[in-house]
Amino acid sequence: MVIVFVLVAVLVLAVVVTANWYVWRRLFRDTTRGPGLTRRAGAVLIAGGWALAIGALVAERSGAPFWLQQVLAWPGFLWLALSIYLLLAVVAGEVIRPLLHRFLEHRARRTNGAPRPGPAPTTGEPAATSRPGAAAATVPGSPVGRTPATDPQRNGSGTAAPTATRPADNTGTTPAPATASQSGGAGGATAAAATAAAPQPASDAPQAPAAPPQPDHGAGALTAAPSAPQANGGGVTHAPAPASQPAPSRSTTGSATAPGPQADPAPGAPEGSPRSAAGPTGPSRRLFVSRVVAGAAAAAAVGTVGYGTYGVLRGPKVKRVTVPLAKLPRAAHGYRIAVVSDVHLGPVLGRGFAQKVVDTINSTQPDLIAVVGDLVDGSVKDLGPAAAPLAQLRARHGSYFVTGNHEYFSGAGQWVEEVRRLGLNPLENARREMPYFDLAGVNDVAGEDEGQGPDFAKALGDRDTARACVLLAHQPVQIHDAVEHGVDLQLSGHTHGGQLWPGNLIAAGANPTVAGLDRYGDTQLYVSRGAGAWGPPTRVGAPSDITLIELASKQA
């Protein structure tokens, strides 16, 4: 048995450590560029939070000085709640992460993939002319459809020789060829500037100005003048270049580089910087997505815990439920029972909270008050002053109390005497005959370890079964014994309604009913979500309440 316990403990520890490493990775490692203060601070925050949480639990159970319990309880218990919702939020972020990646990539492609003005295609189709009627002459021996501007001829040194042409005029007259000199050798080739005499059009249109000669950039560099002929074998041809064609860039090696579309500038680059067609780099985009998802997860977790804590501290709300009982006489129709459970006075919820609970109960003007266990988390010595407002409870037929499992952690015998001193009536496996029904109460099952467990036979064995019976029992699991003893209505607490979602799923696996009214055979069970909170003073998906049960007679 000890081995099984150790294995379970090791497994739980491994799960907790892995979950916290995962949270640290997503919130701190993936959102930073490298090791540094942020990652170390995140590790300290997570490890310190769990140290405080464990310290708070140990201090409460071991009976540490009450001031120490108060110091550890607030940050430690709140970290428990926050860690739960940080983990859930980060896991939910795994769904958002790829969607955000795709959205950013799509936007980058849409932005950077837009067409921009550029040169005509260099292969596979003829170059466009800038003037109507201009004809492109091809170089002999070159591929069909490729112009000299895009398929330069090679000279003796193997470097490309760009051609400069003069477009034809509107009369369609072809310019006469001009003379050109070409030299080759190890140093490269230079095309001499030449002029061509062309007939003037009838309209005497002005001629385009001749382009100035390009300076020589070094060995193997090329210069070209307008209307310079190309030498290809033994023939010379002219090819007018498009007016819109930009001049190719030149390097010091003499090679010509074809112009291409300008790329988008990098994010944050000054205006006029080259544009990057690929957009943000992969790591930058991943870092941005990680920061967005981590920030949203942290905000969601903090907001959830903050709102849930506010809901507890402001005090429980009144919930009204009508319960019909077949054996209830007509005179008892509308009888009101205020049900309060799981107040959990302790190092976090103190006297001020107890006063809010008492004021809320008294505002309902009940006929009877039922306190169904887990009133405190601590000793009478530490929490006696916090429980003092219970003496102000007012009901026509009195206030009644049964123990919960937490009373047995805090000295049940002392608390039974304390609540009696405060004016409440403890029902320890006992029954009272009220004017219209029997009211019974049994101890909690946790009392079995102290020989003070529930005794249904003692509480219900010799009663008049013709009368309706209402039973106070802290845990819903006691409903099965209630059914066997012919109880009409059992009032319970214990579950907190799950307190912290998705804790209701866990509570549902251990209790027949988590919250609300349910029926088991001829017996009805009502489970209150409770007025306070245990551990974290926080509720999510299970708001605290004080229930006002209104009994209804079927004879009315």
Dig out the tokens for 437 from the structure.
């029904």
pLDDT at 43: 96
Q: What's the distance, CA 550 to chain centroid?
A: 43
User: What is the rounded distance in angstroms from the CA atom of residue 396 to the CA atom of residue 399?
Assistant: 9
The set of long-range contacts for 431-435, using a CB threshold of 8 Å and a minimum separation of 24, is 431/459, 431/460, 431/463, 432/400, 433/467, 434/368, 434/397, 435/332, 435/397
> Does residue 85 lie in a domain region?
yes
Query: Which residues form the domain of 322?
Result: 317-553
Q: How many Cα atoms occupy the beta-carbon half-sphere of 47 within 13 Å?
A: 6
- 173 φ/ψ angles, rounded to the nearest 5 degrees: -75, 135
pLDDT given at position 467 = 94
Single residue among 77, 105, 133 that ends a domain in this structure: 105
Three-state DSSP state, 516: strand
End residue of a domain, out of 76, 105, 134? 105
Q: Which of 119, 116, 146, 115 is closest to 248 using CA atoms? A: 119
Q: What's at 21, amino acid-wise?
A: W
The token pair that represents 505 in the structure block = 């799923």
Query: Is residue 363, in this structure, part of any structural domain at all?
Result: yes
According to the model, what pLDDT value does residue 5 have? 84
Kindly report the CATH number assigned to the domain that includes residue 364.
Answer: 3.60.21.10
Q: For the chain, give the number of residues.
A: 556
pLDDT 10s digit of each residue in the chain, 556 long? 788 888 998 999 999 999 999 999 999 999 999 899 999 999 999 999 999 999 999 999 888 999 999 999 999 999 999 999 999 999 999 999 999 989 988 888 888 865 555 555 554 444 444 344 433 334 344 443 444 334 434 444 444 444 433 443 443 344 434 333 333 333 333 333 333 334 444 444 444 444 444 444 433 333 333 343 343 444 444 444 444 444 444 433 333 344 443 434 444 344 444 444 444 445 588 899 999 999 999 999 999 999 999 999 999 999 999 999 999 999 999 999 999 999 999 999 999 999 999 999 999 999 999 999 999 999 999 999 999 999 999 999 999 999 999 999 989 999 999 999 999 999 999 999 999 999 999 999 999 988 899 999 999 988 999 999 999 999 999 999 999 999 999 999 999 999 999 999 999 999 999 999 999 999 999 999 999 999 999 999 999 999 999 999 988 6
Report which of 290, 303, 305, 298 is spatially closest to residue 86, judged by C-alpha positions.
298
Count how many domains the chain has.
2
Residue 436 lies in a domain: yes
Q: Is 211 inside any structural domain?
A: no
Domain end among 52, 80, 105: 105
Among candidates 41, 18, 17, 19, which has minimal Cα distance to 29? 41
Picking from 381, 379, 383, the residue whose alpha carbon sits closest to that of residue 353 is 383
DSSP string, 33-101: SSSSHHHHHHHHHHHHHHHHHHHHHHHHHHT--HHHHHHHHHHHHHHHHHHHHHHHHHHHHHHHHHHHH
Q: Tell me the sheet residues that pair with 339.
A: 370, 547
Q: What is the pLDDT of residue 511?
A: 95
Q: Is residue 77 part of a domain?
A: yes
- Residue at 298 is within a domain: no
**pLDDT at site 145:** 40
Q: Is residue 193 part of a domain?
A: no
Cβ within 8 Å of residue 518, ≥6 positions away: 512, 524, 525, 526, 527
d(CA 531, CA 225): 96
> 320 and 139 in contact (C-beta within 8 Å)?
no
Q: Do the domain assignments include residue 218?
A: no
What pLDDT is stored for residue 131 in this prediction? 42
- Backbone φ and ψ of 30, nearest 5°: -75, -10
